[in-house]
Amino acid sequence: MKEKIKSLKNEIELELNSVKNLKDLNEIKNKYLSKKGPVSELSNGLRDLSIDDKKVYGKLITDFKNDINNQFNILKDKFETEELNKKLENEKIDISMPGVNIGTGSPSFVEKVIDDASDFFISLGYDIYEGPEIELDKYNFEMLNLPKDHPARDAQDTYYLKDEDLLLRSQTSPVQVRVMLNGKGETPIRMICPGKVYRREDIDATHEQEFTQIEGLVIDKNISLSDLKGTFDAFVKHTFGENTEARFRPSYYPFTEPSVEMDMSCIYCDGSGCSMCKPKGWITISGGGMVHPNVLRMCGYDPDKWQGFAFGMAAERIAMLKYNMPDMRSMHENDLRETINFDRKEVK
Ligand SMILES: [Zn+2]
């Protein structure tokens, strides 16, 4: 019996010495320590022995079993620790690795134009206003001297909503109406109201169904057309450079009288004519005039005491000229190739 135990112990220890991982260790454990394995067989062999021998060999077998189990457990702990360390090593986050670069973006050309124009007009003492993009017909047309049967309404194909009194504003002028109504015919006004407007246009390189207006309004006493001209002249010099000139041409708008087209000298040529300036040497960027007495009256200001001028321009048009962009659509299409491809040098 002693010999059997000794040789079995040697056999198991030999295998344990060469075992490399937890899986192999468990296989060895099953092979020797299962119910029908060789170690259990030793215990079965006790049955045929005398009581005294049973005591002696029983203890030997128990010690042997404990010893073997002990060795298994020590190895089991060792392998488990190794595996855990390996796992931790593999799953470690390497904080020295470079991160994923997330581009921070920059303002769009339209936003840049609005920010720049806002800075300019704030420096002249103007306030910046915003208003609703879904507007009342009354504010978008009627109070701007455009009654329902006015022929000028045909010129603007407007997006009316289900309720015919509601529409997507076709101009930001209703913001001016709202500010005038709040002024109650007593408060002088200096304001611009940059914002989106919507018109049913056929889309091409210079027309979109949605664009951004920068409209301005000044109401005070002793205001004349020369105030508008001085303001516009300062604006084009601020935006396009000191050498830029301003020019007015007669025009017609229902909400101003007199009305003017507002041109600036071409920033691309010396006035000799280029593809940007037709007619020669001048580019139209704005329209405006003196606020029509009917508009003043409807908005609560007495035209015998108050005068005002108003103007409007498209931020996209300014951006196209300032940043030399040939196609207005690229500003709304979100295609980066379009904005990267052309020369974006600022014209000053
Ligand atoms: Zn030109």
Residue 345: predicted pLDDT? 47
Residue 342: predicted pLDDT? 47
**Tokens standing for residue 143:** 């109070």
Residue 340 has pLDDT above 60, yes or no: no
Higher pLDDT, 152 or 42: 42
Average confidence (pLDDT) over 270-289? 85
Residue 155 has pLDDT above 60, yes or no: no
Is 39 inside any structural domain? yes
The pair phi, psi for residue 27, each rounded to 5°, is -65, -45
Same domain, 118 and 85: no
Residue 47: predicted pLDDT? 82
Residue 329: predicted pLDDT? 82
CA of 245 to the centre of ligand 1 (A): 13
Is 98 inside any structural domain? no
Compute the distance between CA of residue 131 and CA of residue 169 in angstroms, rounded to an integer.
Answer: 10
Same domain, 7 and 71: yes
Same domain, 49 and 122: no
Is 95 inside any structural domain? no
The pair phi, psi for residue 111, each rounded to 5°, is -60, -40
Same domain, 269 and 311: yes
Residue 306: predicted pLDDT? 95
Residue 286: predicted pLDDT? 95
CA of 283 to the centre of ligand 1 (A): 8
Is 104 inside any structural domain? no
Same domain, 78 and 133: no
Of 52-61, 124-133, 235-244, the poorest mean pLDDT is in 52-61
Same domain, 211 and 67: no
Residue 348 has pLDDT above 60, yes or no: no
Helix (H) and strand (E) counts for the chain? 12, 10
Residue 290: predicted pLDDT? 97
Average confidence (pLDDT) over 234-261? 94
For residue 194, is the peptide bond before it cis, meaning its omega torsion is within 30 degrees of 0?
Answer: no
How does the average pLDDT of the chain come out, rounded? Answer: 87
Residue 68: predicted pLDDT? 87
Same domain, 287 and 138: yes
Q: Does the global pTM surpass 0.75?
A: no
CA of 265 to the centre of ligand 1 (A): 8
Residue 344: predicted pLDDT? 44
Residue 343 has pLDDT above 50, yes or no: no
- Domain end, chosen from 58, 90, 122, is at 90
Same domain, 184 and 297: yes
- Domain end, chosen from 39, 62, 90, is at 90
CA of 269 to the centre of ligand 1 (A): 4
CA of 327 to the centre of ligand 1 (A): 17
Give the list of residues 6+ apart from residue 260 with CB closer than 8 angstroms, or none.
225, 228, 248, 249, 250, 251, 287, 288, 289
CA 168 to chain centroid = 24
CA of 325 to the centre of ligand 1 (A): 15
CA of 113 to the centre of ligand 1 (A): 21
CA of 278 to the centre of ligand 1 (A): 7
Is 100 inside any structural domain? no
Residue 245: predicted pLDDT? 92
Give the list of residues 6+ apart from residue 214 with CB closer than 8 angstroms, or none.
113, 114, 117, 192, 193, 194, 312, 313, 314, 315, 318
CA of 171 to the centre of ligand 1 (A): 29
Is 209 inside any structural domain? yes
Compute the distance between CA of residue 15 and CA of residue 31 in angstroms, rounded to an integer.
Answer: 11
Q: Which residues constitute the domain of residue 10? A: 2-90
Compute the distance between CA of residue 159 and CA of residue 194 in angstroms, rounded to an integer.
Answer: 20
Same domain, 23 and 152: no
Q: Give the three-state DSSP class for 213.
A: strand
CB-based neighbours (< 5 A) of ligand 1, an ion: 266, 268-269, 274, 276-277
Same domain, 194 and 300: yes
pLDDT digits (tens, 9 = 90+) for 208-246: 888 999 999 999 999 999 999 999 999 999 999 999 999
Give the list of residues 6+ apart from residue 298 with CB closer than 8 angstroms, or none.
142, 143, 145
Same domain, 185 and 126: yes
**Domains contained in the chain, number:** 2
CA of 59 to the centre of ligand 1 (A): 112
Same domain, 73 and 174: no
Average confidence (pLDDT) over 67-84? 90
